[in-house]
């Protein structure tokens, strides 16, 4: 039975690696897949899903104007697609997640989505919120904090390694901008950054 899957984690947990392994498993059995990734992700080669361990695969790009249902339906009819895989799914809109649910329900094609649950402020992305509400299967891909606990937060790092506490929700980057932390370490470091910001403000 086809389902909508949401694989989520903090950054650097290997989401893209898991996606590429799933795609390989389908292809190894002679089944065609289609891979999508966000046009916003320019960390590696545009139009590819790439993992930090060196794996990569060509992918279709989606943006906020992409009609996911129509685009996928066309490829299913033309190429006999058996599975859809979406990287950086946190950047999907609510309507696009509904489109993916329609792919599952009407076209009987499983859709596997991979992405972050929350942003650097601990707030849900629109795509992630919609997937948490609509996906049949929610699977956490685990990684660890610097203290050894399970990391669940995506901290954005600024000057001198301090946590950033304001700014745009989307700022594409890798290890130079983000670090995965457990909730405890995230709030401790946030408190330190707040205290230092207030102290500096006293002298302005």
**88 belongs to the catalytic site:** yes
Run of H or E residues at 175: none
What's phi and psi for 113, nearest 5 deg?
-110, 145
CB of 181 within 8 A of CB of 153? Answer: yes
Contacts of 85 by beta carbon, 8 Å cutoff, 6+ apart: 19, 22, 23, 33, 34, 35, 36, 111, 112, 113, 114
Q: Which of 88, 123, 126, 140 is labelled catalytic?
A: 88
Residues 6+ positions from 183 with CB-CB distance below 8 Å: 152, 153
Let me know how long the chain is.
204
Catalytically active residues, by annotation? 88
């Amino acid at each position: 039975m086809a389902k909508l899957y949401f694989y989520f984690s903090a950054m650097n947990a290997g989401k893209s690696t898991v996606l590429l392994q799933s795609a390989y498993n389908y292809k190894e059995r002679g089944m065609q897949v289609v891979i999508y990734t966000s046009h916003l992700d320019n960390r590696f080669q545009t139009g590819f899903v790439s993992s930090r361990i060196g794996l990569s695969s060509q992918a279709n790009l989606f943006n906020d104007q992409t009609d996911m249902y129509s685009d996928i339906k066309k490829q299913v009819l033309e190429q006999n697609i058996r599975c859809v895989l979406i990287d950086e799914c946190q950047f999907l809109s609510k309507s696009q997640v509904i489109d993916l649910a329609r792919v599952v329900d009407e076209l009987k094609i499983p859709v596997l989505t991979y992405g972050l649950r929350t942003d650097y402020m601990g707030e849900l992305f629109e795509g992630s919120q919609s997937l948490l509400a609509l996906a049949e299967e929610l699977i956490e891909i685990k990684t660890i904090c610097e203290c050894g606990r399970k990391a669940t937060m995506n901290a954005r790092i600024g000057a001198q390694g301090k946590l950033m506490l304001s700014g745009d929700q989307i700022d594409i980057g890798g290890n130079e901008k983000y670090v995965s932390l457990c909730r405890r370490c995230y709030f401790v470091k946030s408190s330190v950054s707040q205290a230092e910001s207030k102290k500096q403000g006293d002298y302005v």
